[in-house]
Amino acid sequence: MVGAARPNTIVLLSMGYDSLSTWHQLGRPAAVYFDVGSQYSAPEIDRYQKLRISFPQLIPVQDMRWLGEQEQDDRWVPLRNLVMTVRAAALGYDDIVMSAPADWAPDKRLTFTLATSLALRVAQPGVNYRVRRPFSHWTKAKLIAATPPKLLEDYAYSCYEGTEPPCGRCAACGRATIAHLAAGREPPTALRSGLGFRELMDLRRGSANGSRLSETVRMRPGELLYVPLRGWELLRAWEAYRRR
Ligand SMILES: [Zn+2]
């Protein structure tokens, strides 16, 4: 079973749909939120602190704003996941879980989890460190469908603009909308009626920023065709939209 947690499991929570769902699928083990001081940190921290009240296994927010200062124009922070992984290990956890069903970042790929697992084991012999992405073969829609709606409604936040409520126009909001439709769930932000198929699909690119371009640039050639949602899920989203 992919979902098994160990006694020393910790989930790196970003408070997005993927990581919250990953945490839930694993039986809600310990988790941590790293504050890199981004534009959307405040609403994420707000939700993480609320979640901590009900789940004391969540450890305090870790201040990583010093690293966030390296944020690039496309909002990518070099080495973020490496620093977070090592820090989680240094805090005493040996099973470090990342969520990455749709990730284009080089520091979330399989080679990254294998290399960091090895580096940690070399650095501290005798500890069976494991860095993993147990649901990397699941799509965002599948993760959402497998998670109680209330958990996501109350605690998930995924918007590049950092507005409260989420803007509904950026690529993160657009992907959440399509994934919710594909999962048979009500989208988290208002959705215009009268869109055509292409217009609905284009929500994934967002109208409020250029994240799509930068994501494409960071992909390797073999990954250009990679989609976070499968074709049949996009069709299911379209059918759900038309029925509204
Ligand atoms: Zn947004």
Under-70 pLDDT residues of the chain: 1-3, 101-104, 208-228
- Cα first-last separation, the chain: 36
pLDDT, residue 103, reads 58
CA of 81 to the centre of ligand 1 (A): 22
pLDDT, residue 102, reads 54
pLDDT, residue 216, reads 45
CA of 161 to the centre of ligand 1 (A): 5
Burial 87-111 (b: 16+ CB within 10 A, else e): bbbeeebbbbbbbbbbbbbebbbee
pLDDT, residue 25, reads 97
Q: Return the number of other C-beta atoms located less than 10 Å from residue 231's C-beta.
A: 8
pLDDT, residue 209, reads 43
CA of 158 to the centre of ligand 1 (A): 7
pLDDT, residue 225, reads 39
- Sign of dihedral through CA atoms 142, 147, 150, 151? negative
Tens of pLDDT, residue by residue over 36-59, are 998 899 999 999 999 999 999 999
Q: Are 134 and 22 in contact (CB under 8 A)?
A: yes
- If you compute the radius of gyration of the chain from its CA atoms, what whole number of angstroms results? 18
Q: Which CATH superfamily is domain 9-132 in?
A: HUPs (3.40.50.620)
Residues, CB-to-ion distance under 5 Å, ligand 1: 159, 161, 166-167, 170, 173
CA of 13 to the centre of ligand 1 (A): 19
- In the chain, residues under CATH classification 3.40.50.620 are 9-132
